[in-house]
Structure 1
Amino acid sequence: MGSRADLAIAKRMAPATVAAYEAVEADLHDAFQYQRPLSLISPAPGPTGFDVRWTTCPDCGSPVLAGTRDPRRYCPAHAPTGPWRHLPAAAAPPCAEQDTLLDMPEAA
């Protein structure tokens, strides 16, 4: 239930998903937001789609998401710069020792 700008960006980035929501609005004869049916919102200008794919960290082989603008992607422990660097280089533990969400034990 985002703002008009959020919905315009969603319409540009995920047109198939928005089309499914528009179909539900049409079936219900009612908009999800008061007097703001998705069919009346134009897509925002800009690049379309989420151009990402799974690749592996070239240092350790851990799976990471990369985009066409960033084809060589490292995991957080091996990223040379940028937002992936969570710890100073000397303090970054090796990937094999880091827990991930997939490694966490299930709640009893």
Structure 2
Amino acid sequence: MEKRGTPDDQTMEMISNENAKQYIRSLGVKPKMEMSELIPFNNADAQDLIDRLLDLNPKTRLTIEEAIEHPYLESLHDPDDEPTFEGEIDFSFENDPNLTLDDVKKLILQEISYY
């Protein structure tokens, strides 16, 4: 929150965990720092890409498809050589109350390895 600022009301409404909301509110209102203050080089495209990737609101954050089309990555973007995945990834294991943080990390890495 110190760098990205306090989430706006719309973003806070998306957080379903009341303890998380309460914690965020306990931090007080923090202003969002400009990327130019956080990134030590002067490249507006790089700053814009990072700013949009770190958007706290998942509905307005760049998708991977939008990110690879960003002007900063233009020299790397090749639509003919970029595989896409259109299914859904199953993260239902996250709801198991008996899982430890290490278990979740291992399961996420296992899920990633499938793709």
Question: Please, what TM-score do these two structures have when normalized by structure 2?
Answer: 0.26
Q: More helix by proportion, 1 or 2? A: 2
> Which has the larger strand fraction?
1
**Structure 1 length as normaliser, TM-score?**
0.27
- The structure number with the bigger radius of gyration is 1
